[in-house]
Amino acid sequence: MGEAGQTKFQMDLRRYLREQEEDRNLTRLICEIADASKYIVNSIRTGDLGVAGTSNLYGEDQLALDVLSDRILRKRLLHSGVVANIVSEETSDIISISTNFDGRYSVAYDPLDGSSLVDVNLAVGTIVSIYEGGELLQPGRNQVAALYILYGPRTTLVYSTGRGVHEFAMNQLMEYTLVRENVRMQPKGSIYSPGGQRNLYTPGTESFVRYMEENGAKLRYSGGFVPDINQILMKGKGVFMYPHLQGSPDGKLRLLYELNPMSYLIEQAGGAASTGRERILDLQPRQIDDRAPVFIGCKEDVAKAEELIRAQG
């Protein structure tokens, strides 16, 4: 790699966004989220792992780290000066910050996805979806940016503003520097990450799993959405699924906080994301807590899932 290439791959996130000529307010917003993650990293390393004594609106025990991560991110967004509305998976309603939408963005986020994995020292992450203006209840195809931060052996930030997917890693100075540009998915994968109880799969989903197994795909599932998507995206070959189940037709994962941002990133890398019947990014959310089944990853694998579900349900 020449000198110019070396310099590029030492470039910090803010400078990279500026050189890409991203909107100034969007650059500021992404950098605010990146700065907030430094405090979340520190909380994960040193924080109390006990239950906070509250539950979120889905009835799940809310870990102290959930509460703290939400507070850290919310404070940064409130004081950023570039945000109109926010909604978090840990809150029951959209929070209005400004009635002036001009030049501002609205943000939906999951502050610490997979937080129950922290006490067994497995990887977790933050997921963020960004829209222009004040409307959050719109199809995911209208996102102007999406990102996630993975708190694993390394802390990495993966983002897209509609011009490819780029990966940054936190260095010893807690700055994000570019490590990989234009991450791309292959058409077909060799790993699969299946969520949900298999005995509750519908016939079409069961056929898809057997298809993956018969074609030599290896099962890789951590129980964390961020690390499982990151593995598929960075290896460029695989599919994650949390399907519709018998008695649970909408699956488990939330559209605003989890599926829309991850679907945007995977599509930007040349992959696909579907409910098994339609494109995730075309779904019109009715409420902030909407859920949907998901098959996400390599295009040919997702198309095969759709084909089998159409035929068998």
Fold match between domain 3-180 and domain 191-312: no
Category of 43 on φ-ψ map: left (φ > 0), alpha (ψ -120 to 50) or beta: alpha
For residue 137, what pLDDT is reported?
98
The CATH class of the 3-180 domain is: alpha beta
Distance CA 63, CA 49 (A): 7
Level-2 CATH architecture, domain 191-312:
3-Layer(aba) Sandwich (3.40)
CA-based nearest residue to 13, from 150, 146, 179, 183: 179
Q: What is the CA radius of gyration of the chain?
A: 19
Which residues are paired to 241 by β-bridges?
A: 194, 295
pLDDT reading at 65 higher than 90: no
* Mean pLDDT value of segment 194-213: 96
pLDDT reading at 288 higher than 90: yes
- pLDDT tens string 217-275: 999 999 899 999 999 999 999 999 999 999 999 999 999 999 999 999 999 999 999 99
For residue 276, what pLDDT is reported?
97
Backbone angles phi, psi at 161, to 5 degrees: -115, 25
Q: Which residue has the higher pLDDT, 58 or 175?
A: 175
* Mean pLDDT over each residue of the chain, to the nearest integer: 92
* Mean pLDDT value of segment 113-142: 92
All structural domains of the chain with their residue ranges? 3-180, 191-312
List, as own/partner pairs, every contact residues 196-202 make where C-beta atoms lie below 8 angstroms and the sequence separation is at least 24, other chains included: 196/241, 196/242, 196/243, 196/245, 196/248, 196/251, 196/252, 197/245, 200/245, 200/246, 200/247, 200/248, 201/243, 201/245, 201/246, 202/243, 202/244, 202/245, 202/246, 202/309, 202/312, 202/313
pTM of the model: 0.93
pLDDT reading at 5 higher than 50: no
Which DSSP string do the residues of 139-191 spell out, in sequence order? Answer: -GGG-SEEEEEEESSSEEEEEESSS--EEEEE-TTS-EEEEESS----SS-SE
Tokens 């799969």, residue located: 201
For residue 77, what pLDDT is reported?
97
% of the chain exceeding 70 in pLDDT: 92
